Amino acid sequence: MPDTPAGPPTPPILLTELLGSQELGLRLLAGPEQADLLWVHTSEMADPYPYLLGGELLLTAGVQLSDADTYVARLVEAGASALGFGVTPVYDTVPDALVAACERHRLPLVEVPPETRFTAIARAVWRLMAEARHRELRRVTRAQQALATAAARPDPVPAVLRQLAVQLEGRVALLTADGGVLHAAGDRTAPDVQTALARLARVVVPSTAPGAGTGGTAGTAPGAGTAGRQPSPSSAAESRGGVHLFAYALGGGQGLALALATPRRDAGDHTVAGIAVVLLSLLTAPHQGADAAGRSAALVRLLLGAAPPEVAPLLGDGDTWTVVHARRTDGAPADPLNAGALGAALGSALSDGDRETVRVLLHGRRTVPPQPGWTIGVSEPSPVEALPDADAQAARALGHAVATRVPVCAYRPGVGGLAGLVPPGRAEAHARALLAPLTGPLAETLRCWLSLHGSWDRTAAALRVHRNTVRQRVARCAALLGMDLDDMDVRTELWFALRSRT
């Protein structure tokens, strides 16, 4: 897991901000006006090179200035950002040779008037830096709040990526070790930029990382031959055509990387990206609510032909199980990351999903609360050998929830009442004989239609078919059964039969 990102570094200030300060009276004499200032340093040495760190506004009165060209060349070599020259008491004006040297070496040269003290310039720089850092801290704080809010959405991973793209005004993507895109957000980038991002992802997450690819080369055990190999960096960067590219490895050894392509690189961007890396690492980490070895053993035994009751103890405590079916309320497709996030929210590592529906298996009798952004159907608690029936119950409950537009619907069997007066065996036999002409899809359509009081639109929504398809199927049922489905007595008998048939 990556360390929690620290606050953003103090951003540099622009030379133009300092030149715009009226009380200082500074004037640019040579060189470009675009320069980043990191600090201020005063020196009257003939060669201050050994004492410069880079990024300075060097202030001098030229006490030991002799060879202007050599002096300026050494400042540029040391990485100084600009030179401030104070007129009087040594010089009445800035030497022409110094102006020419700064213009030749493209080093900004600023004239400091006699009434402006060097300490006033330093104080102004520190004030501007403090203001810039305050702005950057506020920006990072707002970004952190926005990313945390996105992480609480029902589709946390795509939501975090979308918010990160907004905050950095660029393209972001969650990549696998081989450069495959799991999710992406923001403006599309050129193919060469995408290729470069994939290459950076391979740098920070090699394909042999745990959870990436096969975990080892052909014929080699995972981890074999890695002795002495340098660990991969947690981040990598490069620039391409004015676009800044970055890749960060997600924690947990999952073989995933966060890739960024941004038009600029501000001081707090790394901190914002670090926050996103922490959130995405948590959101994509495998949920450890049950023992991973036990789940693997259960799967192996099932594949080898073991009976479900034999493997149930390996999946966790409890004699019964509850099946949950869920769909995104906004109609967006589900994916493994969303399925895992929903499972984690419900307290289970046992989840699966396709493009439409996520299935979650819960231990024991569970009350499932509404989940923002999801429409959910819940089965009855069932023994492990009855899980196929529970799966069908959850599917029916989900269809009813979709049709009635409620966030959660629990399956309710027809127990008690008049139906309870008929012995189950006789009721099932009668139901099978009565419904024998109907195929499975026709019987399910009829059951759903009756449960929704004959509503064509709600039945279509529950079954995810067109309303005309529902009309055709119900008409076909009436023809095969030879019954008038507008008759309430007929509907009642068919409803009891559909609820009694297993």
pLDDT tens for each residue of 161-171: 999 999 999 99
Q: Which residues contact 86 (CB under 8 A, 6 or more apart)?
A: 59, 60, 61, 112, 114, 116, 118
Question: pLDDT for 145-193, tens place per residue?
Answer: 999 988 888 788 888 999 999 999 999 999 888 888 888 898 887 888 8
Q: Which two tokens stand for residue 313?
A: 């103890």
Query: Among 235-239, 342-346, 396-400, 454-458, which is the least confidently predicted range?
Result: 342-346
∠ CA 11-13-15, rounded to 5°: 155
More confident residue, 23 or 336: 23
pLDDT above 50: residue 7: no
Euclidean distance between CA atoms 205 and 175, whole angstroms: 10
pLDDT of residue 19: 94
| 198: number of Cβ within 10 Å | 20
Among 104-118, 129-143, 415-429, the range of highest mean pLDDT: 104-118
Q: Which residues contact 188 (CB under 8 A, 6 or more apart)?
A: 171
Q: What homologous superfamily is domain 417-500 in, according to CATH?
A: PucR C-terminal helix-turn-helix domain (1.10.10.2840)
pLDDT of residue 414: 55
Average pLDDT over residues 360-373: 84
> Residue 359: enclosing H or E segment and its boundaries?
strand 358-363
pLDDT of residue 292: 56
- Position 55 confidence tier, pLDDT thresholds 50, 70, 90: very high
- Position 78 confidence tier, pLDDT thresholds 50, 70, 90: very high
Architecture of domain 140-211+234-284: 2-Layer Sandwich (3.30)
Residue among 359, 274, 207, 187 at smallest CA distance from 9: 274
pLDDT above 70: residue 65: yes
Average pLDDT, the chain: 82
Query: Among 11-20, 74-83, 340-349, 444-453, which is the least confidently predicted range?
Result: 340-349
Query: Among 29-33, 256-260, 329-333, which is the least confidently predicted range?
Result: 329-333
Residue among 438, 455, 346 at smallest CA distance from 399: 455
More confident residue, 282 or 484: 484
pLDDT above 90: residue 400: no
Q: Where are the alpha helices (DSSP H) in 209-335?
A: 269-284, 292-303, 308-315
Among 116-130, 286-300, 332-346, 389-403, the range of highest mean pLDDT: 116-130
Q: Which two tokens stand for residue 76?
A: 């540029």
pLDDT of residue 217: 33
To the nearest 10°, report the CA torsion of 111, 117, 123, 128.
Answer: -20
pLDDT of residue 329: 87
Amino acid present at 15: L
Euclidean distance between CA atoms 217 and 226, whole angstroms: 11
Euclidean distance between CA atoms 27 and 487, whole angstroms: 95
- Position 50 confidence tier, pLDDT thresholds 50, 70, 90: very high
> Residue 237: enclosing H or E segment and its boundaries?
strand 235-240
- Position 97 confidence tier, pLDDT thresholds 50, 70, 90: very high
pLDDT of residue 366: 79
pLDDT of residue 229: 46
pLDDT above 80: residue 95: yes
Average pLDDT over residues 103-114: 96
Average pLDDT over residues 400-411: 87
HEC sequence for 149-215: HHHCCCCHHHHHHHHHHHHHCCEEEEEECCCCEEEEECCCCCHHHHHHHHHHHHHHCCCCCCCCCCC
pLDDT above 90: residue 305: no
pLDDT above 50: residue 227: no
> Domain segments of the chain: what residues?
27-115, 140-211+234-284, 292-410, 417-500
Q: Which two tokens stand for residue 247?
A: 């890749």
Euclidean distance between CA atoms 361 and 348, whole angstroms: 7
pLDDT of residue 219: 34
Average pLDDT over residues 284-289: 59
- 27-115, CATH topology level: 3.40.1390
pLDDT of residue 9: 60
Q: Can you give the length of the chain in residues?
A: 502
pLDDT of residue 387: 83
Q: Are 147 and 165 in contact (CB under 8 A)?
A: no
- Position 290 confidence tier, pLDDT thresholds 50, 70, 90: very low
Model pTM score: 0.56
Backbone angles phi, psi at 325, to 5 degrees: -115, 140
Beta bridge partners of 198: none
Q: Are 280 and 160 in contact (CB under 8 A)?
A: yes
| 192: number of Cβ within 10 Å | 11
